[in-house]
Amino acid sequence: MSKLILIRHGQSLWNAQNKFTGWVDVPLSERGRAEATIASCKLREKHYQVDVCFTSLLMRAMETAIVTLTECDEICGEKTPIIQHAADDPNWHGWDKYEGDHTQELPIFPASDLDERYYGKLQGLNKAETAAKYGKEQVHIWRRSYDTPPPGGESLEDTKTRVLPFLRDRILAHIKNGETVLVAAHGNSLRSIIMDLDDLSPEEVPKLELATGVPIVYEFDSETKVIDKVLL
């Protein structure tokens, strides 16, 4: 059976400082790297072997993906994880091309479609201080509602609009091929995916909480219908 493993990045330095992060490219904290290591161990215990990985362009998600894949070698089997840079990126030199056996690669595809939701003017602000200034209820609406964006930022609905085409066109294509796919991304980009897979309504979204570094595994039948969901 095909499997889709979703993992929110481990704790970042700004998570630890209770700041809105959004598109600010903050790395993992020591705890965040440990969370990714634990996730790797959990996947090994369940004998999961990943065939392909997708991640956002943000460092905290990429770090999580790499640690999860490499801390326990069994997750990659005999393959080597290799980041696949976009061929049409004018800033990429293309020196990663080589002649030889590409069947021993485990591709990691970074994609901006999986980036965290853009928090606009809230980025960099302390969440508790922002709640004290604007009120807890207003900040909760900015953080958890479906269609209300923070000042100058994206709503979850906006995020879902860019995430779902990528899910259907890129990620589910591998699921249809019977592969096991790892997606390391962010709270809101993953909420968008889970909303679709679990058929959640906008009213149910505020209750959807995702812990950092905890794998969620979906299993699919041959028709790419979800038949099981496990929280590791």
Active site residues: 9, 116
Does residue 28 contact residue 186 with C-beta atoms inside 8 Å? no
Task: Tell me whether residue 188 is annotated as binding.
Answer: yes
Task: In whole angstroms, give the CA distance from residue 70 to residue 10.
Answer: 15
Task: Tell me whether residue 12 is annotated as binding.
Answer: yes
Task: In whole angstroms, give the CA distance from residue 10 to residue 212.
Answer: 5
Task: Tell me whether residue 212 is annotated as binding.
Answer: no
Phi and psi at residue 180, to the nearest 5°: -100, 120
Task: Tell me whether residue 162 is annotated as binding.
Answer: no
Residue 117 CB-density burial (10 A; 0-12 exposed, 13-18 middle, 19+ buried):
buried
What is the b/e burial string over 35-71, where b = at least 16 CB atoms within 10 angstroms of the residue's CB? bbbbbbebbeeeebbbbbbbbbebebbbbbbbbbbbb
Task: Tell me whether residue 144 is annotated as binding.
Answer: yes
Task: Tell me whether residue 191 is annotated as binding.
Answer: no
Residues paired with 219 in a beta bridge: 3, 228
Task: In whole angstroms, give the CA distance from residue 162 to residue 94.
Answer: 27
Q: Which residues lie closer than 8 Å to 222 by C-beta, 6 or more apart?
A: none
Task: Tell me whether residue 170 is annotated as binding.
Answer: no
Task: Tell me whether residue 143 is annotated as binding.
Answer: yes
Task: Tell me whether residue 9 is annotated as binding.
Answer: yes
Task: Tell me whether residue 60 is annotated as binding.
Answer: yes
Task: Tell me whether residue 187 is annotated as binding.
Answer: yes
Task: Tell me whether residue 118 is annotated as binding.
Answer: yes
Query: Residues comprising the binding site?
Result: 8-15, 21-22, 60, 116-119, 127, 143-144, 187-188
Query: Residues comprising the binding site for substrate?
Result: 8-15, 21-22, 60, 116-119, 127, 143-144, 187-188
